A and B are shown apart, each in its own frame.
Chain A
Amino acid sequence: MPFKLPPATKPVLRAQLSSRPANGHTAFIPQVRKLVFEYSEKWPSSSRTRTYLNNHLEELARTNPHVEVVVQQKNHREPIVRGFYLNGRDKVISLKEFEVTQIQQKVQLLLDSSGAKIKPLKRRIIESSTESARGIWSGLHVPELYKI
């Protein structure tokens, strides 16, 4: 009489299966989705921001069609640029008293960023989601067994 054994491994439920992203392996999806410029109409700290918005913003929007560009007037406030990213975070940079070239640098910084939090470089441990290409060294797989 046949009896049923319990499953040796957990059953694979197909509706719960998913894959991990590999952005950039073939196609690259830029991570910045929206840039919001806030400026004041009268205050002098926003004057170069206003110049930038009048002269350079349209070209920026044309060369970066994947980014929504929004301009908001916020009187009695310092000028800022806020970048929204696909991971749900946003980065805010104040443009108070910035020259036009400096504003361009900050905008380019936002466009190049991924939105991830800035991690300290010195305490980082190496993390990888894929196996190493050459394999990890093993003392048992050398011609002479490695003796500690």
Chain B
Amino acid sequence: MGYVHKRLASTAAKLAVSPSSARAFPPPDAISNPRAFDPETYAALQPPPASSLTALAHRLGLGRVLSPTEVQQACTHPSFVTLYQKHYPNEAKPATNGNLSTVGNSLLGLFASEYLNASYPHLPLRVLKAAVSAYVGAKTCASIATEIGATPLLRWHRTTATPLKPALLLPDALSSIPRSIVALVYQHRSLPITRQFVHDLFLSREVDLRAFIKFRDPKKALKETVAKFERERPVSRLLAETGRFSNSPVFVVGIYSGADQLGEGFGTSLKMAEFRAAEDSLHRLYLTRTPPEQLRLPSSTFSPSPSDLYTYKPPKGSKLEYVAGELGMEEIEYASGGRTGLVTPPSS
């Protein structure tokens, strides 16, 4: 008996349903037709209590911005409508987050791309796209939804894959919640405030960009990059070593272009140390980061209010004035673009 009560309590806690906010409790269907009554479906159909919706808004610092109805709309996936109308055909359709999710997704893409492009001017295009996916992609949005505590508030209906549509899984439904919240902030406030919200919630998270920049032959890539920048050709020099001919040697190799050191690497063999040094040099180039105080974003030219959308000019010399950053050197052709992996042997 104790186990049953514990199961019931844990299920109820997960679904955030309280009997006090249900329509008629116990539901008449359960009494009249107990065999056909499914308590989990019933629980999934009930609205969450308003206190949990306001609590979510306050957790995000949006307590004065979003009303409980809007939070509920942000947490209702369009797949929920079919399930709801099947069981309550006479009631009005619940408001869903389909449109909000699309607007929020576009805004997230805008803010993430401009921020990353301004922060890392030399980043290769493929890496930039991967970084945008890492910061505001579907998987991140789903994790953010669980981290803010929106999982028990999500109302959705799992659908299997059909010939016309792919399957709808929990991460897909969860990812719509943070996007809808971003769209709601944009609706209620302005673009600069939404940008600040996105920077605080999404772009402050940790992503290691070095994992996205990998080379088949970093020495060759470095040689071509240095030639493009019209510097002296790279030369590797052994800086320090210990334990040669033992079972755990350490070699430290630096790569120099003239008198300037481009990068340094360690390894248990000379070749590995040189490999890492070349990789380090390329990382130091591609991952050069604009200091946050010098960051200028193109969306700062957008007006804070919709009334002077086309005539707004930020005050001169202020942080909002947009000065275009330097254009990064275009990427080298090696193992990039449309010729990935294709190597033509030298014609003899």
Contact = CB atoms under 8 A, between A and B. Distances in A.
A and B part of one assembly = yes
Interface of A: 2-9, 12, 14-23, 25-27, 29-30, 33-34, 65-70, 84, 86, 90, 129-130, 139-141, 145
3 interchain residue pairs of minimum CB distance: A8-B216, A19-B205, A140-B240
Contacts of B52: 33-34, 68
B332 interface: no
Nearest to B142: A18
Given A21-B206, A68-B51, 20 more contacts: A2-B342, A3-B342, A4-B342, A9-B216, A12-B212, A14-B129, A18-B137, A19-B134, A19-B202, A23-B147, A26-B200, A27-B201, A29-B147, A33-B149, A34-B13, A65-B58, A67-B55, A140-B241, A141-B240, A145-B240
B214 A8 contact: yes
Nearest to A61: B51
22 contacts: A3-B342, A4-B341, A8-B215, A8-B217, A15-B137, A16-B139, A17-B134, A17-B137, A18-B140, A19-B205, A20-B205, A21-B205, A22-B204, A22-B206, A27-B60, A29-B147, A66-B59, A69-B51, A130-B206, A140-B239, A140-B242, A140-B252
Contacts of B201: 27
A27 B200 contact: yes
Contacts of A19: 134-135, 140, 143, 202, 205-207
B30 interface: no
B341 A17 contact: no
A5 B51 contact: no
Nearest to B339: A2
A139 B240 CA distance: 10
Given A5-B343, A8-B216, A68-B51, A20 B206 contact: yes
Contacts of B146: 86
